[in-house]
Chain A
Amino acid sequence: MTLFFRRTFPLLLTFLFGVAAAIQYYIPHPVSEAALTEVSVWLRIILGFAMILGIASLCHVHYAKIRTRVAGWGYSLVVYLSMLATVAVGLWSSGQEEGTGFGWIYTYALLALQGTMFSMLGFFVASAAFRAFRARSKEAAVLLVAAVVMMFGRVPLGEYLIPAAGPMAGWLLNVLNTAARRGIIIGISLGGIATSIKIIFGIERSYLGGRD
Chain B
Amino acid sequence: MRALPALLALCFFTLYPVPYALASPLSPPDQFEAFDIPGDGGGSVGLSWRAAPFDEPTLRYQVYMADQAQGPFTRIAEFAANTHYKSDVDRPWWSWDRNKAYHYYQVKSTQDLRLEDSRPYFFKIAVTDGIQTIDGPIQSAVPAPNFFNPAKANNFLLMLLFSAIVLIAIAQAKRHPHIFLRRIPGLDAVEEAIGRATEMGRPILYLTGSDDMSSLSTIAATVILGQVAKKSAAYDTQLQVPHRDPIVMAICQEIVKESYLEAGRPDAYRDDSNFFITNDQFSYTAAVNGIMLRDRPAANFFMGFYYAEALLLAETGAGTGAIQIAGTDADLQLPFFITTCDYTLIGEELYAASAYLSREPVLVGTLRGQDLGKAFLLFSILIGTILATIGGLVGTQAFVPLLQLFRDFK
List A residues at the B interface (Cβ < 8 Å): 22, 25-31, 33, 43, 46-47, 50-55, 57-58, 60-61, 64, 71-72, 75, 110, 113-114, 117-118, 120-121, 124-125, 127-129, 131-132, 181, 184-188, 190-199, 201, 203-204, 206-210
Contacts and interface: CB of A to CB of B under 8 A. Distances in A.
Interface stretch (B69-77, B185-193, B366-374, B395-403): B366-374
Contacts of A199: 219
Interface in B247-261: 247, 249-251, 254-255, 257-259, 261
B275 A28 contact: no
22 contacts: A26-B155, A28-B147, A46-B247, A54-B245, A57-B249, A57-B274, A61-B272, A64-B272, A110-B280, A114-B283, A120-B312, A128-B340, A131-B340, A190-B162, A190-B377, A191-B347, A193-B163, A195-B216, A195-B366, A197-B166, A204-B363, A206-B354
B351 A192 contact: yes
Interface of B: 39-42, 145-149, 152, 155-156, 159, 162-163, 166-167, 170, 212, 214, 216, 219-220, 222-223, 226, 243, 245-247, 249-251, 254-255, 257-259, 261-262, 272, 274-283, 285-286, 290, 294, 308, 311-312, 314-316, 318, 329, 331, 334, 336, 339-340, 346-348, 350-352, 354, 358, 362-363, 366-367, 369-370, 373-374, 377
**Counting chain B CB atoms within 10 Å of each CB, which of A60, A128, A131 scores highest?**
A128
Given A27-B147, A29-B147, A204 B354 contact: yes
B276 A131 contact: no
Contacts of B243: 54
A51 B246 contact: yes
B159 A187 contact: no
A70 B145 CA distance: 63
A194 B222 contact: no
Contact of B346 (A53, A184, A186): A184
A146 to B, nearest CB: 11
A188 B347 contact: yes
Given A131-B318, A193-B159, A198-B363, A29 B145 contact: yes
A124 B312 contact: yes
Contact of A43 (B155, B214, B370): B214
Given A203-B363, A209-B255, A58 B276 contact: yes
B251 A26 contact: no
B41 A30 contact: yes
B141 to A, nearest CB: 17
Contacts of A57: 246, 249, 272, 274-276
Given A128-B311, A191-B348, A197 B223 contact: no
